[in-house]
């Protein structure tokens, strides 16, 4: 549905994106993941025909973004970073305006408007001026705008920014429900979002694609060892040494909060049973024993960090930090 071949965009001397190539199949949801300034917005602007690439070729539904931009624009719903809303219009007036711009009229337009107002929960604010709405509502109006002509391709630049956790879940559900019938590209720097709604992730950094795969496969590919989080209430002084003696344990880190340990073992070998037996036999007060799969966050950090910043210990530390995060923060996903 979307095919991007070797596109490069330069602003004077600065190269915003460098030979980016990827494609999105019909009905697929693709996450564009990257730190700020990585080139996500630039790529999206090229796909929506807002700006032409310096080099390369992008096609949407078989139409060239440069040569057949009208055909492309008709098939795309685009939510830019800042929702493009007119503050002096009411939600209804705005949606009617956008619908007409996209060629809807009469009963079709009315149906489309009520469908989107319903779908995005805008019923209570439909007669209010957009300028008086909160950030979250404006974001939803922006989404309604992108969906109003029911385009086969949706390009959403950070669609959940400015929403509260409940709304974030709703929007993610909405995006998931669009999968199958619509091709969606969404950019985000929130990692659980990518794992939650996307079938495929493209990680972009410094204008280049550094990885592209499913969220699961990405983390497996970059994992060198299994990591296990262990929490003991009464660890003896020589606990690290004794844990190391267990068959298969590569390393033990105790640099987290007191009683928390991070164990590394050979890939594919589950040592949890042995560890549990050891802890229970010695009455160490075992309260947690958990396999940590490498989160997308770790993958992301690993791929987007510069080589020189990588030190041997930082990997494990990041793993431990994310393990702690998962326990305490309850990131919505």
Applying CB under 8 A, which residues contact another protein?
11, 45, 48-52, 70, 73-74, 76, 78, 80-82, 84-89, 93, 97-98, 100-103, 105, 145
Residue 84 or 332 having the CB closest to another protein: 84
Residue 51 beta carbon to another protein: minimum distance, rounded to whole angstroms: 5
Residue 135 beta carbon to another protein: minimum distance, rounded to whole angstroms: 14
Residue 10 or 253 having the CB closest to another protein: 10
Contact at 8 Å (CB) between 206 and 298?
Answer: no
Cα dist. 244→248, 259, 282 in Å? 8, 16, 15
The total of other beta-carbon atoms located within 10 Å of residue 180's CB is 11
Residue 93 or 251 having the CB closest to another protein: 93
Determine the length of the chain. 333
Q: Is the dihedral of CA 83, 88, 90, 94 positive or negative?
A: negative
Q: Which positions ≥6 away from 147 have C-beta within 8 Å?
A: 77, 116, 119, 120, 154
Residue 11 or 55 having the CB closest to another protein: 11
Q: Which positions ≥6 away from 33 have C-beta within 8 Å?
A: 187, 188, 189, 191, 194, 201, 202, 203, 204, 296, 300
Residue 82 or 177 having the CB closest to another protein: 82
Q: What is the DSSP letter of 256?
A: S
Residue 15 beta carbon to another protein: minimum distance, rounded to whole angstroms: 15
Residue 207 beta carbon to another protein: minimum distance, rounded to whole angstroms: 17
Q: What is the DSSP letter of 270?
A: -
> 156 has which bridge partners?
79, 186
Judged by DSSP in three states, 42 sits in helix
Residue 28 beta carbon to another protein: minimum distance, rounded to whole angstroms: 21
Residue 53 beta carbon to another protein: minimum distance, rounded to whole angstroms: 11
Residue 90 or 160 having the CB closest to another protein: 90
């Amino acid at each position: 549905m979307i095919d991007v071949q070797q596109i490069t965009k330069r602003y004077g001397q600065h190269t915003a994106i460098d030979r980016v190539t990827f494609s999105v199949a019909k009905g697929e949801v693709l996450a564009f993941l990257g730190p700020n300034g990585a080139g996500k917005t630039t790529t999206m602007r090229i796909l929506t025909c807002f700006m032409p690439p310096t080099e390369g070729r992008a096609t949407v539904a078989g139409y060239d973004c440069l040569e057949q931009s009208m055909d492309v624009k008709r098939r795309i719903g685009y939510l830019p970073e800042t929702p493009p809303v007119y503050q002096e219009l009411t939600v209804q007036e705005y949606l009617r305006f956008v619908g007409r711009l996209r060629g809807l009229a009469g009963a079709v337009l009315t149906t489309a408007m009520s469908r989107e107002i319903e779908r995005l929960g805008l019923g209570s604010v439909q007669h209010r001026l957009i300028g008086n709405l909160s950030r979250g509502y404006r974001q939803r109006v922006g989404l309604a705008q992108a969906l109003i002509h029911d385009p086969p391709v949706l390009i959403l630049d950070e669609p959940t920014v400015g929403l509260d956790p409940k709304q974030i879940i709703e929007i993610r559900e909405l995006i998931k429900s669009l999968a199958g019938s619509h091709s969606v590209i969404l950019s985000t720097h929130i990692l659980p979002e990518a794992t939650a709604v996307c079938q495929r992730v493209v990680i972009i950094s410094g204008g280049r694609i550094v990885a592209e795969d499913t969220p699961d496969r990405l983390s497996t590919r970059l994992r060198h060892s299994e990591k296990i989080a262990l929490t003991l209430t009464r660890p003896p002084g020589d606990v690290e040494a004794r844990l190391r003696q267990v068959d298969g344990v590569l390393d033990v880190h105790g640099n987290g909060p007191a009683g928390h340990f991070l164990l590394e073992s050979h890939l594919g070998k589950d040592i949890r049973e042995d560890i549990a037996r050891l802890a229970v036999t010695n009455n160490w007060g075992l309260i947690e024993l958990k396999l940590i799969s490498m989160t997308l966050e770790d993958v992301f950090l690993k791929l987007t960090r510069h080589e020189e910043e990588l030190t041997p210990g930082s990997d494990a530390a990041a793993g431990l930090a994310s393990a702690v995060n998962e326990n305490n923060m309850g990131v919505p996903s």
